[in-house]
Structure 1
Amino acid sequence: MSASIPRDVREFLEDYPDNSDNPSFSDNLRFYSNKLRCRPDNLYIDDLHKQWRGDYSKLEYKHGFIQWLFPIPEHGMNYESQPLQRHEVEAMKADETIVERVLRSYRLMLDFYGMRLEDSETGLLARSDKNYKDRYKNLTRSSHNYLRISRILKCLSILGLERLNTGFLLFILAEQSEHGELNTSGIRSSMDRWWANCVRNEEERKWIGEMIRNVREENMYVEALNRRKETGKLAELSAVDTEQ
Structure 2
Amino acid sequence: MGNLVGGWRLKEPSTVEECDSTWDSDSENESEDSGVSESASPSAESERTGSGDTEPRDQLCDSPELAPKMKRSFYAARDLYKYRHSYPNYRKSRQPNEYRNLRFYLNKIPLGPDGIYIEEILTKWRGDYDKLEHNHTYIQWLFPLREQGLNFYAHELTQDEIKEFQGTREAKRRFVAAYSLMLDFYGVKLLDKNGNVTRAPNWEQRFQHLNESQHNYLRITRILKSLGELGCEAFKAPLVRLFLEESLVHGTLSNMTHSALEYYVYTIRNAATRRRLLRYAKKHYRPAHNFIWGPPSKERRGEGEGEEGGGSGYRAPNPTPEHHRREEGGGEMREGER
Structure 1 length normalisation: TM-score? 0.83
Residue type of the alignment partner of 1:88: E
Structure 1 residue 98 displacement after superposition:
1.2
Structure 2 residue aligned with 1:224: none
Structure 1 residue aligned with 2:86: 15
Larger RCO: Structure 1 or Structure 2 (Cα < 8 Å, ≥ 6 residues apart)?
2
Give the number of the structure whose residues are more often helix, by fraction: 1
User: 1:67 touches 1:78 (CA, 8 Å); kept in 2?
Assistant: yes
**Aligned equivalents of 1:38, 1:202: Cα separation in 2:** 35
Query: Which aligned pairs between 1:216-227 and structure 2 lie closer than 5 A?
Result: 216=285, 219-220=286-287
Structure 2 residue aligned with 1:191: 260
Structure 1 residue aligned with 2:198: 126
Number of positions where the alignment pairs a residue of Structure 1 with one of Structure 2: 215
Residue type of the alignment partner of 2:169: E
Structure 2 residue aligned with 1:150: 221
**Aligned equivalents of 2:282, 2:149: Cα separation in 1:** 31
Structure 2 residue aligned with 1:203: 272
Residue type of the alignment partner of 1:144: H
Structure 1 residue 143 displacement after superposition:
1.3
Residue type of the alignment partner of 2:268: V
**Aligned equivalents of 2:247, 2:276: Cα separation in 1:** 18
* CA RMSD between the two structures: 1.6
Structure 2 residue aligned with 1:44: 117
SS at match of 2:254: coil
Structure 1 residue 181 displacement after superposition:
1.0
SS at match of 1:194: helix
CA distances 1:106-140 after superposition (whole Å, capped 9, x unpaired): 0000000011101221x2211111x2222111111
**Aligned equivalents of 1:99, 1:205: Cα separation in 2:** 25
Structure 1 residue 79 displacement after superposition:
1.2
**Aligned equivalents of 1:19, 1:36: Cα separation in 2:** 26
User: 1:68 touches 1:81 (CA, 8 Å); kept in 2?
Assistant: yes
Structure 2 residue aligned with 1:111: 184
Which consecutive aligned stretches of 4+ in structure 1 deviate over 4 angstroms post-superposition? none
User: 1:117 touches 1:125 (CA, 8 Å); kept in 2?
Assistant: yes
Alignment partner of 1:33 is 2:100 = no
Structure 1 residue 212 displacement after superposition:
1.6
Structure 1 unaligned spans of 5+: 222-244
User: 1:21 touches 1:87 (CA, 8 Å); kept in 2?
Assistant: no
Residue type of the alignment partner of 2:274: R
Question: Which residue of the other structure, out of 212, 216, 238, is the alignment partner of 2:281?
Answer: 212
User: 1:66 touches 1:148 (CA, 8 Å); kept in 2?
Assistant: yes
**Aligned equivalents of 1:203, 1:72: Cα separation in 2:** 24
SS at match of 1:21: coil
Structure 1 residue aligned with 2:145: 72
User: 2:240 touches 2:265 (CA, 8 Å); kept in 1?
Assistant: yes
User: 2:248 touches 2:281 (CA, 8 Å); kept in 1?
Assistant: no
Residue type of the alignment partner of 2:180: R
**Aligned equivalents of 1:178, 1:144: Cα separation in 2:** 22
Structure 2 unaligned spans of 5+: 1-18, 21-71, 289-338
Structure 1 residue 213 displacement after superposition:
2.1
CA distances 1:174-221 after superposition (whole Å, capped 9, x unpaired): 22344221112xx111111101100111221222222222221xx436
Residue type of the alignment partner of 1:175: E
Question: Which residue of the other structure, out of 158, 162, 167, is the alignment partner of 1:85?
Answer: 158
Structure 2 length normalisation: TM-score? 0.61
